[in-house]
Chain A
Amino acid sequence: MELSDGAVVRRVLDGDVELFGVLVERYREKFGRYAISLVGDGDAAADAMQDAFIRAYDSLDRCREPDRFGSWFFRILTNQCHDTRDRLRAHADLSAIDAASREQTDADVERGELSAIITEALDELTAEQREAFVMKHVDGRSYDEMAELTGTGVDALKMRVHRARDSLRAKLEERL
């Protein structure tokens, strides 16, 4: 029998610290790829995710709706990812880091090129467009799901995804 998020949060607040691991496992899987796409670098994203979970634990009593822990944590994680990305960009060339963090086999090279272009194109989106685009095309979420997670209206989300797509289309055309 699986515990709901709300039940887990309440038990953790009551003192069952180990149970927090259940939430970490759930959301590591659910939001992990999103974090990596937002940050643009696997290692830095893992750090961002770790920090976000720790923040969430420290402020768990301030999560007003434990049953909606996912949305609350999503916001914390998104902010952490943006911060991490900004700091990364301030200190290094992003594409260099990205290339180095991937293991390149021969077969990967061609695929890697397309990938690299996408990564570069993502870099040129606004933060909101990048979030929405990744939720749609990396995580495959529906607009309703996205609205539930972010608190943003479906129309605004659609607009961001559409504009991101146009941006990426232009980038692909320019580079291929």
Chain B
Amino acid sequence: MIGTRSLLLLLLLAVAPHGLVGQQPELVEQMRTRGLPESLVAEVAQVAADATAQGLPADPLVEKAIEGWAKRVPADRIMGAIQQFRIRLQEARQALTGTGHAEPLGPVVAAAAEAMARGLGQEQVGAVVDAAPTPGAAGRGLKVAAALAAQGIGTDQAVGIVVRAMRRGQADTDLLDLPSVANAMRAQGMAPGQIGQRLMQGAGSAGGPGVGPGQGGRPHGVPPGGPPDLPPGQTKKQP
């Protein structure tokens, strides 16, 4: 059953070369390929266009619509979820600009929205983004902090672990290993508090003096924990 609004949008889609379809043809095409009916495509495209105009990322909204359709969720409930999602993205964007990030990139906004839905507060999101050297690292950091929190590590500690790891130069894909390591520790029977502590220590010191057939003891007074970005093995150069 097609309502009047959907009918109008359908006409718009069919008739207007610019506007919705012109702005994001790939997203519209993606929805069609996945079998979404035209009326739903039109409505989602409208929300996506609104989001883009507000400086919010459109991709996550479209993906959510595709997910809903795949799960056989009725169209009106899909639209309800998309609207809610857009509001959460808006709130995340405000949280970022509120902590001093003037023009946050789409992927960072999306990651922040998800992190906030998973329990991180505005200040915590700000702390992760502040410590990140690049926007990509910010997105990764937020996902990892949220995943660690989901393992039972408190959000403050999870954020602390991520921030510390990034300060130690682990801002790239290695950061993404943390949740899996936490999971393994948990399978070993460690309590979340212990896991948090181990990751906090381990996130800074990937090996110190004396590991393997190394040389050098620790000078008196030097605190434990080795230099941060020490990749053992894999040396390309020959001394």
Q: Provide the residues of chain B in CB contact with A54, threshold 8 Å.
A: 219, 222
Contact A79 to B132, CB < 8 A, known contacts A151-B169, A159-B100:
no
Query: Is A156 engaged at the interface, CB distance under 8 Å to the other chain?
Result: yes
* A interface: dominant SS: helix
Q: Provide the residues of chain B in CB contact with A79, threshold 8 Å.
A: 167-168, 204, 227-228
Q: Provide the residues of chain B in CB contact with A72, threshold 8 Å.
A: 229
Q: In chain A, what residue has the closest Cβ to B233? A: A62
Q: In chain B, what residue has the closest Cβ to A150? A: B133
Q: Shortest Cβ distance from A167 into chain B, in angstroms?
A: 11
Interface footprint category on A: 20 to 34
Q: Provide the residues of chain A in CB contact with B188, threshold 8 Å.
A: none
Q: CB within 8 A of B167: which of A57, A59, A82? A: A82
Q: Provide the residues of chain B in CB contact with A112, threshold 8 Å.
A: none
Q: Provide the residues of chain A in CB contact with B235, threshold 8 Å.
A: 61-62, 64
CA distance A43 to B186 in the complex (A): 43
Q: CB within 8 A of A62: which of B222, B223, B231? A: B231
CA distance A10 to B237 in the complex (A): 9
Q: In chain A, what residue has the closest Cβ to B209? A: A58
CA distance A159 to B96 in the complex (A): 13
Q: Shortest Cβ distance from A54 into chain B, in angstroms?
A: 5
Q: Shortest Cβ distance from A23 into chain B, in angstroms?
A: 14
Q: Provide the residues of chain B in CB contact with A156, threshold 8 Å.
A: 132-134
Query: Is B130 engaged at the interface, CB distance under 8 Å to the other chain?
Result: yes
Query: Is A13 engaged at the interface, CB distance under 8 Å to the other chain?
Result: yes
Q: Are A57 and B216 in contact (CB under 8 A)?
A: yes
Q: Provide the residues of chain A in CB contact with B226, threshold 8 Å.
A: 55, 59
* B interface: dominant SS: loop
Interface footprint category on B: 20 to 34
Q: Provide the residues of chain A in CB contact with B219, threshold 8 Å.
A: 51, 54
Query: Is B198 engaged at the interface, CB distance under 8 Å to the other chain?
Result: no
Q: Are B134 and A64 in contact (CB under 8 A)?
A: no
Q: Are A127 and B167 in contact (CB under 8 A)?
A: yes
B194-239: which residues lie under 8 A (CB-CB) from chain A? 204, 209, 214-216, 219, 221-223, 225-232, 234-237, 239
Query: Is A21 engaged at the interface, CB distance under 8 Å to the other chain?
Result: no
CA distance A126 to B171 in the complex (A): 17
Q: Shortest Cβ distance from A121 into chain B, in angstroms?
A: 17
Q: Provide the residues of chain B in CB contact with A153, threshold 8 Å.
A: 133-135
CA distance A64 to B215 in the complex (A): 17
Q: Shortest Cβ distance from B227 into chain A, in angstroms?
A: 4
Q: Are A128 and B130 in contact (CB under 8 A)?
A: yes
CA distance A87 to B221 in the complex (A): 13
CA distance A8 to B231 in the complex (A): 20
Q: Provide the residues of chain A in CB contact with B225, threshold 8 Å.
A: 83
Q: CB within 8 A of B134: which of A14, A58, A83, A152? A: A152
Q: Provide the residues of chain A in CB contact with B171, threshold 8 Å.
A: 151
Q: CB within 8 A of A75: which of B101, B228, B234, B239? A: B228
Contact A13 to B239, CB < 8 A, known contacts A51-B222, A56-B227, A57-B216:
yes
CA distance A143 to B227 in the complex (A): 25
Q: Provide the residues of chain A in CB contact with B134, threshold 8 Å.
A: 152-153, 156
Q: CB within 8 A of A14: which of B169, B223, B232, B239? A: B239
Q: Are B222 and A64 in contact (CB under 8 A)?
A: no
A59-93: which residues lie under 8 A (CB-CB) from chain B? 59, 61-62, 64, 66, 72, 75-76, 79, 82-83, 87
Q: What are some 6 contacts across the A-B interface (CB < 8 A)? A: A10-B239, A62-B232, A64-B236, A79-B228, A127-B131, A152-B134
